[in-house]
């Protein structure tokens, strides 16, 4: 077992001529909740997709538990994308069967309990669910695995504050504590209280990687305040005529 769960070496991803990630070097250990923080377009989703094997790097290397992305790394990663990835004809019970079949670390009992607490019945079809319920179903399935790495892409974007609390508490109470949770977001104030470490991404570069406690101690400010400082955009105030 590799001491570091994630190792990225010179990771670069180009979309045409546009550089989404540019020579990223990063190492993340085990048993942590890490915030992948950056404004829109900074490369957060690209990095997560490279980690779970949905994209191939243009250059550089991704190692998860010492292995290149493939069937092994996919068996230890639980991924929550920023969109719905289920076929809408499926029922909740179909999805539970699907996860049971493909993921040895899926806890069927835990998923059933969480669905029951949310009043989601096994016979409910995805097609008939509201957007919020679909997101909850996806979150329940992802967090019912005892994965080594949870990759959560913008889990609290576009939901109301009550739903944010539900999502964060679901993550905190259900993740495998010997595993690592990587949460990508630009809503720092909401997640700051749960983070152990923060990785700041800007224009495809890691501009800072530190523990949250160290940031607070060294900078004398919260991660949210530091984020606003690093990513401050000067508003256009009119041109001189």
Partner 1 sequence: MFGKLMKYEMKSLTRGLLPLYGAILAVAVINRVLMGISLNSGMGIPEVIAMMVYFGLCVAVGVVTIMAVVQRFYKGLLCDEGYLMHTLPVRPVELVLSKLTGATVMTILSGVVGVVSVLILMSVGLNFVDFFAVDWLGGFRDLFRNFPSWPLAVLECLLVGLFCVTGQIAQLYAAMALGHLSNKHRVAMSFVWYLVISTALSALLGIFVTVANATGLDYWLTQLTSAMNSSLCLHLGLILTVLAYLVKTAIFCGVTNHVLTNKLNLE
The residues of the shown chain that bind partner 1, judged by CB under 8 A, are 15-16, 49, 52-56, 70-72, 74-75, 77, 79, 81, 83-87, 89, 94, 98, 101-103
**CA pair distance 18, 54, nearest whole angstrom:** 18
Instruction: Say if residues 187 and 24 touch (Cβ distance below 8 Å).
Output: no
State residue 94 phi and psi, 5-degree precision: -60, -40
Q: How far apart are CA 156 and CA 176, in angstroms?
A: 20
If 0-12 CB within 10 Å is exposed, 13-18 middle and 19+ buried, where does residue 32 land? middle
Gap between the Cα atoms of 92 and 26, Å rounded: 37
Compute the least distance from the CB of residue 224 to partner 1, in Å: 29
Nearer CB in complex with partner 1: 78/227 = 78
Name residues whose C-beta falls within 8 Å of residue 118's C-beta, 6 or more positions apart in sequence: 133, 136, 140
Residue 81 or 155: the one with the smaller Cβ distance to partner 1 is: 81
C-beta closer to partner 1: residue 86 or 231: 86
Q: Output 36 or 55, the one with its CB closest to partner 1.
A: 55
């Amino acid at each position: 077992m590799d001491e570091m769960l994630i190792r990225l070496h010179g990771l670069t991803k180009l979309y045409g001529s546009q550089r989404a990630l540019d020579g990223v070097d990063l190492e993340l250990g085990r048993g942590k909740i890490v915030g992948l923080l950056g404004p829109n377009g900074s490369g957060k989703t690209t990095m997560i997709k490279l980690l779970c094997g949905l994209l191939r790097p243009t250059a550089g290397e991704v190692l998860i538990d010492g292995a290149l992305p493939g069937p092994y790394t996919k068996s230890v990663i639980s991924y929550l994308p920023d969109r719905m990835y289920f076929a809408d004809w499926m029922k909740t019970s179909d999805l539970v069967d699907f996860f049971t079949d493909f993921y040895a670390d899926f806890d069927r009992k835990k998923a059933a309990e969480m669905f029951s607490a949310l009043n989601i019945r096994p016979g409910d079809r995805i097609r008939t669910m509201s957007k919020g319920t679909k997101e909850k179903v996806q979150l329940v399935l992802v967090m019912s695995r005892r994965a080594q790495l949870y990759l959560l892409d913008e889990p609290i974007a576009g939901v109301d504050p009550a739903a944010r609390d539900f999502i964060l508490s679901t993550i905190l109470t259900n993740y495998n504590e010997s595993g690592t949770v990587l949460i990508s977001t630009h809503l720092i104030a909401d997640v700051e209280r749960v983070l152990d470490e923060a990785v700041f991404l800007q224009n495809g570069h890691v501009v800072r990687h530190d523990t949250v406690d160290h940031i607070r101690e060294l900078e004398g400010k919260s991660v949210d305040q530091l984020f606003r400082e690093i990513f401050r955009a000067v508003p256009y105030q009119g041109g001189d005529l």
